[in-house]
Amino acid sequence: MIEDGDKAPDFELPTDGGETLELSRLKGKPAVLYFYPKDDTSGCTAEAKNFTRLAPDFRKAGVEVIGVSPDSVESHAKFRKKYDLAVRLAADADKAVANAYGVWVEKSMYGRKYMGVERSTFLIDGKGRIVKSWRKVKVPGHAEEVLAAAKALVK
């Protein structure tokens, strides 16, 4: 399990914009990496819309916001278009990045156990270190809390 202060695991993932995103290429620039379970579900849509609403503030602070889920690039593209999302979406189809960040976990719903993404967010500084992490995120107010931490980081 990675913790605050640890070096953020590097990755290379395809995005809905047709490019490949590498964390190491963002060096020198802080980033918010938020993991969410599934495109176009109620909680995930609300979270993406909240980050989108605050995207201009994150950009102004010089912070890149990236959403990551196991959904495909095609699913991400439809999700972005449907809700006019302003954050980059990266496809972690093999769950390697979710595993590296410790967010691919056993979950339980109605007594049934299954593996899935634990909604989590990581604020990574320009040197590639995890400054702050949020686990088992509750969506209301979360994007605002992350923005406040990001602004404090870049001061």
Q: Is 133 a catalytic residue?
A: no
- CA atoms of 30 and 128, how far apart (whole Å): 8
Active-site residue, from 13, 44, 66, 130: 44
- CA atoms of 8 and 140, how far apart (whole Å): 26
Residue 31 near residue 64, CB atoms below 8 Å: yes
Please report the DSSP string for 65-130 in residue order.
Answer: EEEEESS-HHHHHHHHHHHT--SEEEE-TT-HHHHHTT-EEEEEETTEEEEEE--EEEEE-TTSBE
Positive or negative: CA dihedral 30, 33, 34, 40: positive
- CA atoms of 115 and 111, how far apart (whole Å): 13
Active site residues: 44
